[in-house]
C-alpha cells in the first residue's frame, strides 16, 4: 500500500491523495503481485527524497518506473479511467497522464529497477535514475 498522504511525501496534499488512489487501483487490479518490487517513483522527485541537490528544487512532473509488462499494459489502458485523468498519451515505453496542476509519466523498462524504501515510499536508487528524468 502507498503512504504518500501519511508521509506528506509531496507538499501538495492533492498530489499525495492522487498517488495513493493510483496505488489503490493498482493493488486492486493485481492483488497477488508485489507492486513494490516492480513499480517505483523515479526522476527528480525520487532524487530529491534521497537528498540529491539541484540548483532548482522544484519538481513539475512525477515519474514512475515499472519493469512489469502486465502493469505497463494496465497503465496504458485502464488506469487513466480509474483515476480520472484529464488525458493520457501512450508511447511504446511510457504513458503520460494529465491532471489539474499535475503531470505524471510512467515509464516501462525491462530488467531490474533498483528500488528502495524512503519514508515508506519505494523510489528508484539515486545512482540508477536515468539522467534524462532529472
In order of start, what are the domains of the chain with their CATH numbers? Answer: 4-133 (3.30.460)
Q: Sorting pLDDT into bands at 50, 70 and 90, what band is 105? A: very high
* Residues in Cβ contact with 70 at an 8 Å cutoff, skipping those fewer than 6 apart: 30, 33
The reported pTM is: 0.94
Say if residues 121 and 7 touch (Cβ distance below 8 Å): yes
| Segment 11-37 mean pLDDT | 94
Half-sphere exposure of 74 (CA within 13 A, CB side): 19
User: 27-43: per-residue pLDDT in tens?
Assistant: 999 999 999 999 999 99
Name the packing angle between helices 69-77 and 13-29 (round to 10°).
120
Question: Phi and psi dihedrals of 126, rounded to 5?
Answer: -50, -40
Amino acid at each position: 500500500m502507498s503512504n504518500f498522504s501519511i508521509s506528506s511525501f509531496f507538499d501538495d496534499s492533492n498530489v499525495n491523495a492522487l498517488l495513493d488512489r493510483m496505488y489503490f487501483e493498482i493493488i486492486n487490479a493485481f492483488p497477488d503481485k508485489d507492486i513494490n518490487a516492480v513499480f517505483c517513483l523515479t526522476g527528480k522527485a525520487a532524487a530529491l527524497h534521497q537528498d540529491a541537490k539541484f540548483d532548482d528544487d522544484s519538481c513539475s512532473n512525477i515519474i514512475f518506473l515499472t519493469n512489469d509488462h502486465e502493469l505497463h499494459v494496465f497503465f496504458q489502458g485502464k488506469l487513466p479511467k480509474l483515476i480520472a485523468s484529464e488525458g493520457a498519451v501512450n508511447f511504446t515505453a511510457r504513458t503520460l497522464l494529465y491532471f489539474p496542476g499535475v503531470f505524471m509519466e510512467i515509464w516501462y523498462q525491462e530488467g531490474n529497477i533498483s528500488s528502495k524504501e524512503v519514508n515508506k515510499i519505494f523510489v528508484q536508487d539515486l545512482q540508477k535514475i536515468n539522467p534524462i528524468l532529472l
